[in-house]
């Protein structure tokens, strides 16, 4: 592989889930630095789970996430429903200034220049003049703008946005999309969960279609075809609470002809297609096979 073009994100047969039920199943993908990726799929497709995993909030239950090019603290993640306490007595300025944590840490003060940048970020999201307003007095759209301003100050090369446009009016969405496109122009890598497919087609060059199983990843026009979208819907409907164990991760590291008896017979008599993302070898994925247990609890 060309050392110069290391991907920003490399997903290696990644499985993420809750209580042993996979929500992202055997996903392998390489996302180059500077990509603007829309993560699309039906509800429950594992989009938010993927972002959580990338942000390090959820440990993979199989496979690996590699972020080879990412400097420490270079990831900014905006969850869909933050745990923000709206009644907390802080001002909009203070909240946006939190984005400067990587510069000031726990003890540093704000310099004049940094104060100016906080105000500039507020200006950029159309919130100039709101500095001293308490955060609880903002509308949903204004709060989202303030969160974008904070994200802007984080100055991260990798940005993960989980449904940033949920319950936001169209004018605010247009403004926020402009900000995302500007970040894209600055060379940042951005993954955004979006539900509006029209918007994806218009603004996002790359799309990742998930439906628990990875369905397609590539240029948006080739991913968002009617057939693939229909397939995504079908996959998301076939969900079995009493699913059997998936033993794909026990594949040998290199599938050699004489290792045929090690390759598990895939007794996949259940609904979900386990053979989605493993048309290739899995380097060092899950070195120690998990012991078989009974049916998964739930």
Partner 1 sequence: MFDLLISPFTEFAFMRRALAGCLALALGATPVGVFLLLRRMSLMGDAMSHAILPGAAIGYLAFGLSLGAMTIGGIVAGLVVVFAAGLVTRASVLKEDASLAAFYLLSLAAGVMIVSLRGQNLDLLHVLFGSVLGLDDASLLLIAGIASVTLVSLALLFRPLVMECFDPAFLRGVSRWSPVAHYGFLMLVVVNLVSGFHALGTLMAVGIMILPSAAARLWAKGLPMLLLLAVLFAFGSGASGLLLSFHVDVPAGPAIVLVCGVVYFVSLLAAPGGLLAGRLPVRHHLES
CA-wise closest residue to 183 among 156, 145, 164, 219: 156
Strand pairing class (75-78; 213-219) = unpaired
Q: Which is nearer to partner 1, 83 or 241 (CB)?
A: 83
Q: Which is nearer to partner 1, 150 or 212 (CB)?
A: 150
Closest separation in Å from C-beta 140 to partner 1? 16
Q: Which is nearer to partner 1, 43 or 87 (CB)?
A: 87
Q: Which is nearer to partner 1, 95 or 248 (CB)?
A: 95
Q: Is the dihedral of CA 216, 222, 225, 227 positive or negative?
A: negative
Q: Which H or E run includes 66?
A: strand 62-66
Closest separation in Å from C-beta 163 to partner 1? 15
List residues bridging with 161 in a β-sheet.
78, 192
User: In which region does residue 56 sit, left (phi positive, over 0), alpha (psi from -120 to 50) or beta (all else)?
Assistant: left
* 118/100 Cα distance (integer angstroms): 9
Query: Tokens standing for 178?
Result: 């402009």
Closest separation in Å from C-beta 193 to partner 1? 16
Q: Which is nearer to partner 1, 73 or 219 (CB)?
A: 73
Q: Which residues bind partner 1 (CB under 8 A)?
A: 55, 57, 73, 75-77, 79, 82-85, 88-91, 94-95, 98, 101-102, 105-107, 134-135, 150, 154
Closest separation in Å from C-beta 103 to partner 1? 11
Closest separation in Å from C-beta 143 to partner 1? 11
């Amino acid at each position: 592989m060309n050392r110069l073009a290391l991907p920003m994100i490399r997903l290696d047969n990644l499985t993420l889930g809750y209580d042993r039920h996979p929500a992202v199943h055997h996903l392998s993908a390489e996302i180059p630095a500077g990509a603007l990726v829309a993560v699309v799929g039906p509800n429950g497709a594992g989009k938010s789970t993927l972002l959580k995993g990338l942000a390090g909030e959820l440990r993979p239950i199989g496979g690996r996430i590699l972020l080879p090019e990412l400097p420490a603290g270079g990831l900014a993640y905006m969850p869909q429903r933050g745990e923000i306490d709206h009644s907390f007595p802080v001002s909009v300025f203070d909240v946006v200034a939190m984005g400067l944590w990587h510069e000031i840490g726990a003890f540093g003060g704000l310099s004049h220049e940094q104060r100016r940048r906080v105000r500039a970020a507020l200006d950029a999201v159309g919130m100039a003049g709101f500095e001293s307003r308490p955060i609880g007095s903002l509308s949903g759209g204004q709060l989202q703008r303030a969160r974008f301003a904070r994200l802007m100050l984080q100055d991260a090369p990798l940005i993960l946005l989980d449904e940033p446009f949920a319950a936001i009016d169209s004018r605010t969405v247009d403004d926020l999309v402009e900000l995302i496109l500007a970040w894209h122009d600055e060379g940042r890598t951005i993954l955004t969960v979006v539900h509006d497919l029209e918007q994806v087609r218009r603004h996002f060059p790359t799309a990742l279609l998930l439906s628990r199983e990875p369905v397609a990843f590539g240029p948006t026009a080739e991913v968002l075809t009617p057939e693939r979208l229909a397939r995504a819907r079908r996959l998301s409907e076939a969900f079995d609470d009493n699913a059997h164990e998936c033993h794909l991760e026990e594949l040998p590291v290199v599938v050699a002809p004489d290792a045929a008896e090690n390759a598990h017979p895939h007794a996949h008599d259940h609904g979900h297609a386990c053979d989605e993302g493993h048309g290739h070898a899995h380097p060092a994925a899950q070195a120690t096979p998990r012991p078989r247990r009974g049916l998964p609890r739930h």
